[in-house]
Amino acid sequence: MQIVRKETDPLHLTLELTLEPSDYAPKFESEIKKYKNQAQLKGFRKGMTPVSVIKKMYGKSILSDVINEAIQDKLFGYLDEQNLNYLGQPLPNRDENLVFNLDVNNLKDYKFSFDLGLAPELDVKGVSETDEYNYFDVSIPDSIVEEEFMAARRRFGKRVEATDTIQNMDMIKLEAEELDGNVVKDGGWKTEFTLLVDIVNDQAVKDELLTKKLGDNITFDIYKLEDKDEAHINKYLLKKPEDSDLEIGNMFSATITEVTRVELAELNEEFFSTFGDESVTDETSLKEFLRKDIKAYYDNQALQFMYRDIMDRLMDNNEINLPETFLKRYLKESNENVTEDVVENEFDAFAKNMRWSLQKSHLAKQYEISVEEADIRKHFTNSVFSYMRSYGNMDYSFISQTVDRLMKDKEQVNKAYEEILADRVFSRIGDTVKKKNIAITQEDFVEKVKQLNERVNNL
C-alpha cells in the first residue's frame, strides 16, 4: 500500500491511497473459499461448486466488500500512525474517486483519494497564573434559610382539610357555573377543578380568596385565573372537549367545596433523620445544615458564572482558524436531510461550538485530564441521589437501578463525559488563575445570573 499526502490548503489535506493486490488478495481468496464451502448451487454438491462459478456469481460483491474493508483498515491505521488531528471523518474526494471496474480474475492496483480537515495547532491564552477573573462570594440572608426551612416542613408534612380562612398555599376545589351578566346562565357551562391559591394570576381574585373559607362563593374571569394559554384553560379548568365548538363565556361564579393545606411536619427525630446527616438533631442544627447547603449551591453557581466568564474570554482572545469549506461539506454529506441553506444558516453556531471544543480538548490534554467509566457512574449516582433527596425518597435500590439504566444510554453517557471533562478543565483553570473575590448579596447575584442567561439565550 502507498499513501501520498497533498496539502492543498491550510488545514486541508488530501490523502492518495494506492491499494495493491497484496493488500487485499489473501482476504479475497479466503472469502471466495468460504463461499465455495458453503454454497449449494443447482447442479453441484455442497462445497463442490467451482471457484470460477463462485467468482462469476458473487466475486464482484465479495471483492468490493474486501476492498472497502482494506481501505478502512489502511486509511485509519495510517491516520493513527501519523497522529493526525483531523476533524469529522475523511471524505472521499469527489473529483478523483471514479467508478472502478472490478475484475475478479485480474487483481490490480486501485487508487483512492480522501479529503481531511485538520484541527489547528493551539496555544490557549487566558489561563495562566497572571490572568485574573471575578469570583462572587454570595451572602445568604436569614430569610432564604427560613424559606427553605418552611419548604422542608411543607415537603414532609401531610395534607389536611381546613375550614378557617383560606391561606396562600392552600389547595381549593371549585364548583363553577357560567354567568350571564350577574346571574347564573340558564343551561350554561358547569365545571369543577382544583387550584393552588398561590398560583392564581388575577391578583384581585387572589386577594379576595384569602378572605374566604369553605362554602363561600367567588366570581372570576376563568381565563385570568392562571397564567396559561386558552388551550390550557379549556382543557384543565373548563374541561371542554377538544372537538367541541361550543362558545363559553369567560365569567363564572364558583362555590369553594373543599380546602386542604399542608400541615407542617413536626420537628421530631423522624423529620430530622430525613436529611441524612447525623448533625441535624433540632431546628438550630437543621437551619445551619440548610444554610451550608444553600451556600454550597450559590458557591457552585458563582464558580459556574466565573467559568462562563473564562469561556467567553478564551473565545474572544484566541483566534482559531477552521477548515470551513471542508466542514460545510462534511455537515452536508454526513446528514442526508441537511440542505445548503441549513448549513450556511447554522454554520456559525456549529463553528463556535467546535472552537470551544478544540480549546477544551487541548486543555484537557495539557492538564492530563481523563474521564473513566467509574467517574461517569459516580456522576450519575450523585445526580440521581440529589434529585431523589429533594423528594424525600432515599430508596437506594431504585437509585442504583436508575444509574444502571443511564449507563446503558450512549447519549446520556456521552453527555455526562463532556460535562465531567468540562468541569475538570474549568477546575484546573480555576486552580491556576487569580480569583478576585467580590462580595455580593444573593438578590444581586440572582439578577446577574438572570442577565447572563438572557444574553446566552439570545446569542
Give percent of the chain with pLDDT exceeding 90. Answer: 74
Which among 120, 57, 63 has a CA at the least distance from the CA of 354?
A: 120
Local confidence band at 9 (pLDDT 50, 70, 90 cut-offs): confident
Q: What is the mean pLDDT of residues 286-309?
A: 95
The Cα–Cα gap between 328 and 350 comes to: 10
Q: What is the mean pLDDT of residues 427-451?
A: 95
The Cα–Cα gap between 57 and 250 comes to: 77
Local confidence band at 301 (pLDDT 50, 70, 90 cut-offs): very high
pLDDT in tens, 358-399: 999 999 999 999 999 999 999 999 888 887 776 656 677 888
The model's pTM: 0.71
- Which phi and psi angles does 3 have, rounded to 5°? -130, 125
Res 97: pLDDT? 52
Residue 93 has pLDDT above 90, yes or no: no
Which residues contact residue 178 at a Cβ distance below 8 angstroms, ignoring those fewer than 6 apart?
184, 185, 188, 189, 190, 248, 249, 251, 252
Q: What is the mean pLDDT of residues 410-437?
A: 94
> Can you read off the three cell numbers belonging to residue 384?
440521581
Query: 373-390 and 410-432 are packed helices; what angle lies between their axes, rounded to 10 degrees?
Result: 90
